[in-house]
Every structure is written in C-alpha cells, then in structure tokens.
Chains A and B, each alone.
Chain A
Amino acid sequence: MTTTIAPAPARAAIDSFIHTTGSWVASQLDACTRCGICAEACHFYEATGNPEFAPVWKVELLRRAYEQRFTLTGRAKLMLGLDKPVTDEDISHWSPIVYEACTLCNKCAMVCPMGIQLGPLIHDVREAMAEAEIIPADLVEAVRKQEEIGSPLGVTDDAWVDRIEWIADEWEVEIPIDVKGSDTMVAFTSIELMKFPENIVAIAKILNAAGEKWTISTPGREVVNFGVFEGNPDRVKLFMARLLDSAKELGVKRLVVTECGHAYDLLRWTAPNMVEMPCEVTHIVAVIDELIKAKRITLRPGAFDEGGTITFHDACKIQRRGGHIEEPRNILKLLAPTSFKELDRCREESVCCGGGGGVIAIKEADPLRYKVFELKIRQMEEVGATRVAMTCANCRLQFTESLQHFGSPVKAVGLSHLVAEALVEE
C-alpha cells in the first residue's frame, strides 16, 4: 500500500530528477550500455528472477527524465513515440520496486562493467518518490515517529533513559551519559537499545576496559536516520543535526557510529558534503581493531574456536561502502583462527542480508525479504556455519528474524559481543 497525497506525482518526481542531475549522474546514465549484467548482482533479482528488479530498470525513470529534458535524442525519441514519458502511474509502479526490492546495497556497482554507481542513483529515484509523496505507508510512519518522538521505533526520551539505566544495572556496566569533554561520543540505534541490549553492554565494556573517555548523548541518542530511507533531504539533515549538534555541544573529538550501516554511510561518507562537521566520524569496528592493535584491550586468542564454523557477513554500508573490510577479519582471525571461514561471496562482492535500506521496516516487503534471505542461508550452509558474526544491528535483526522464520540452527552474533566476551581483565 502506498500513500497518495500529491496531485501530480509525476511532475514532482520529474522536478526532483532534474534537480539531482549533475554531471556525475548524467555521465553515468550515458555510460550505461543496457547490457543487463547488473541484474545478476542484485539479490532481489537472483532470488525471484523478476526482471523488474534489475538495478538498471530501477533507475529507468531517472534515465527517462534526464534524457527527455537534457538530450536531443531523448526529446526526439519522446516526440516520435520511441520512448515513454514519466507518468503518475509509473511513479506508483516504481515506488515499491525502489523501496521494497532494493536495499541500496550498491553491489550492482561492483559488477557493472561501466562502474555505474547504481545504489546512489536508486537513492536519487527514492528522493523523487519522496518528493512525489508516493512512499510505503510503514516508512512514512517510521519517519513520523522519528520526527515527533525521536526514534523510528517510537522510543520516547523517558523510555530511553529508563532503558539505559536498566541495561547499566542489569549487566553492571558503567554507561556515561552526557559527559562534556569526553573524547568519544557513541551513538547507538534503537534496534540495539530494544532488541540487542547486550550489544550496548559489550561496547560499554570494551570502551571501559580500554580506559576510553566516552559518553552517550541524550539529545543525540538515535543514530538511525529514516530520512535516508525515505529519501527526504530535509529530514536527513534534521535527524543528523540532533547527533552532530550533540557532538559539538559535548566537545568530543570523534563520533562513533555503532551497528547501523546507513547511518554510518551518511555520517562518514555523505555528511561532510552537506553540513559542517564538528568532529571526525568512525565505526565501532574500526575503534575495536585500533584498541587491539594499540594493546589498550587484550583478547583471549582463539576464544571462539570451539563451537563449529564461524563466518562473517559483510554489511553493505559498513564493509562494501563503509571501507571496514579488514578490521572485522583481523578480529575474527584472532578470536577464531581455525574455525573462521569466509562465505563464498564476501567482502566487496558480499550478498546483502535483504533487510537494509529500510526494507525491514516495510511490512509488505516481508515475503520478499525472506525470499532473499534464502540466498544467505544457502551461503552459510555451503561453509557449514553454526555462527555468523556481523557489525550491523539492522543486518542482525534481519538475520535473527529470518533464521527463526526458516527454523535455521545458525546463530547470528554481533562482533562487538564476541570481543567483549573474550576480554581479558588486566
């Protein structure tokens, strides 16, 4: 189900397409040879065989809008009836394709012979959908919650404080809140808070053990940014400002994003082009790797060698697009030197979990999301994994839910959690 409010969705979408089309976008659209190779990269296509899920088809409307506005051939083709215009029906037709059958994982860019960055281009298509206000209802609701309540899961300020206090008590771990002058501000996701509290505990233990001067922030308590999923730049900036303003207020040197892929992509790789950054941004897995290398924490080598094969799932926004491909491997090779095995397609070519890009928040996408996860199950079976580690809570939510759905015995674990378990107290 989609929400239709705007009178002329196509008009609004086309304006947005035209607005986003700079030289990079245009040159990439013009480089496409329509060879179709990208289709095979997409887990949604691989799992369903639906040609409409081919990445190149997901940017079809952007292509039409660009060609018909900016190129002679495009205009001529439209006049001669050799190409179709962008209509209101098209917007409604493509909306579920780009919101529910794409996790913006950008794997397609890794196989396109022309190197076209399809993920970001599909995000541009989402922006146009958002402009046209043809967005899946569940996404609209999550965005509203984040805007009004402060968290897409609807966690209120009070509930957040209660929950943090409960976590600190329950696991007897110190979690500094709003400490000015700290070096590091850590921003968690609501998913960790509500579904994987042990992740918060793990990260707290690690940072405390390292003697890091760190804090979390009340106003900057939510790292998730549903504006990105929706494709609304204003809300992206609004949600981001809550974090960055807090970091500035606290005077920290760095902002550490925990297990949230798209938030990391946004804050590390996009934000500096949108706003003034108060500090540097990094990911928790890089911090942990750094702490180990600097001998600020000590881990029991081989701590997880027992218990069968352990494998690693590369998250699209933390590994492939985030750049943290080696760090988790350094850690796993230390913790499970003999039982750690790579999946067949891994690192930059990793198969996405199927829940990213906001897909997991859209109820209608559930069947598709499970279908896609079958690929992941097959991959894990191939290496005989009993456990799969990862650095993204959104992936983990998709893994936990889907493994349960399929009754798989494989256990999904957070890498930080493994590290915390293997900590040697000095």
Chain B
Amino acid sequence: MGSTDATLVFARGPLFYTALMIFIVGMAYRLVSVLLLGWKRDRVPNKGSKLRGVAVTYAKGLLIFPFIPWVKKTFRGNQTTYLAGGMFHFGLFVVIFLGTAHMLVWKSLLGFGWPTLALPIVDFLSAAAIVAMIALFVNRLANPVLRLISGPSEWLNLLIVFLPMVTGYGLTHHRLLGIVALPYENLYIMHMMSINLMLIWIPFSRISHFMFYFFSRTYHGAQAGKRAVMP
C-alpha cells in the first residue's frame, strides 16, 4: 500500500470518525450550554394561538421563502442574498442527502439507506451551489453592511464550507476534466480532509446556526402567534 492510499484510509477512517465525534460532542455542548442559561416562563394571556404561529412560520420559512422569496417586500434590497442563499442551501441539502455517494456514507453510519437522485441532477445542483457560494462571497465583499458585520470568522466559514464543495465537485468530474496533475486519490484525500476540518469547525462557528434556527424560528412564531399576527 502506497503512502497516498494509507493517508486516504486514515482520512476517511479514523480521522473522519474522530471529526464526527468532535462535531457531535461539540454541538451537544453548544446546545446544553445555551439551554442551561435558563428560560423564562411566559405568563402573558394569548390573543391568538402560539402553536399556529409556530406552524405558519415554519411553513413560510421552509416552503415559501426559499423558493419564492420575492413575495417578501424586502427582497428588492437583498436579491443576491435571498437567491444565492436559497440556491446554496438547497443545493447543499440535495447533495448531502440525495447524492448517491453521500447516501452510502449515511448508510454506513446509520445502517439504512434511501433512494437518491440521478447524478446529472445532483451534479447540476452542486455546481449551482458552488456558483451561489461565489456570489455570496462577492456580495459579502461588495455590500457595505455585510463588510461591516463580517469578522475573520465569517470569511473563514465561507472558505471552510467551500473547500469540501469544490473538491467534491472535482471528484465527480475527475475524468471529464482530465485533471492529470492531481491524481484521483489525492483529490479524494483533499475532499475528506476538508470535510473533517469542516466537521470540527462547525460547533465553534456560526455554521451551527442550523441548530439554533429551530429556537429562533419557534420563538418568532410563538411571539407572532400569541399576538394573532402573521409571523
């Protein structure tokens, strides 16, 4: 076995599992430390239904705005963020959960698999997600508000998510692109290493927003619901 092979085995074996553990433990730590700060009880009598507000806000936030963001009036001023942001997340979810290669990883972890989408679709969406990320990056550079609110970690976040995406895309197109200088195994190692880096990084960064999303959305929905206004 050559040293490249050994590195690959290590990167997708022990290192990957270690990174995954750090991810899980790290996220659990974040969750617990936020939960432990304490919740205040809400004793305000409702006008409408909190539950309804929560249901509506998730329906809007997950089903409507990502796909037809122009129904929001503020869309006018944030077209890049809405469109590229939506495209990026959509592409990412499809690739991670409905790409065959990734589903097989899930299967090895969870013990069961599921049907996946045809490669050309997944491939197209991953390209779209990469383009969207570049657009988001340029937008962050160009927009004065985004420049102001972006610290070193915001830029690093972009890079750390970008790396697994481009290396993954490169893997699918390795033959097609005929990247001769970079053997498949090396690219694979880079893909795995960037994923491991990302997994370790997530709990310590704002990429973990996917977990806190459920808190802020629920709270928003409940606040609107109890007042009987549209969240």
Contact = CB atoms under 8 A, between A and B. Distances in A.
Contacts, number: 162
A320 interface: yes
A60 B152 CA distance: 15
Interface residues of A, number: 62
A73 B145 contact: no
Contact of B219 (A24, A51, A52): A24
A26 B37 contact: yes
Given A39-B77, A70-B37, 17 more contacts: A22-B38, A23-B34, A23-B215, A27-B215, A28-B212, A30-B34, A30-B209, A33-B209, A37-B74, A37-B78, A46-B77, A114-B209, A115-B216, A115-B219, A268-B44, A319-B229, A349-B74
A39 B149 CA distance: 11
A109 B74 CA distance: 12
Contact of A31 (B48, B74, B215): B215
Contacts of A28: 212, 215-216, 219
A375 to B, nearest CB: 12
Interface in B14-47: 30, 33-45, 47
B45 A272 contact: yes
A117 B224 CA distance: 10
A36 B149 CA distance: 8
Interface in A305-361: 319-323, 325, 344-345, 347-349
Contacts of A46: 77
Interface residues of B, number: 60
Residue from the set A46, A114, A268 with the largest chain B CB neighbour count within 10 Å: A114
Interface of B: 30, 33-45, 47-48, 57, 61, 65, 72-74, 76-78, 81-82, 85, 143-154, 204-206, 208-209, 212-213, 215-217, 219-221, 223-224, 227-231
B27 to A, nearest CB: 11
B141 to A, nearest CB: 12
A168 B230 CA distance: 40
A165 interface: no
B81 A35 contact: yes
A77 interface: yes
22 contacts: A23-B39, A28-B215, A30-B34, A34-B146, A34-B149, A37-B81, A37-B82, A52-B148, A57-B145, A70-B33, A72-B204, A77-B153, A82-B153, A109-B220, A111-B74, A115-B221, A117-B216, A117-B220, A272-B45, A273-B41, A323-B227, A347-B230
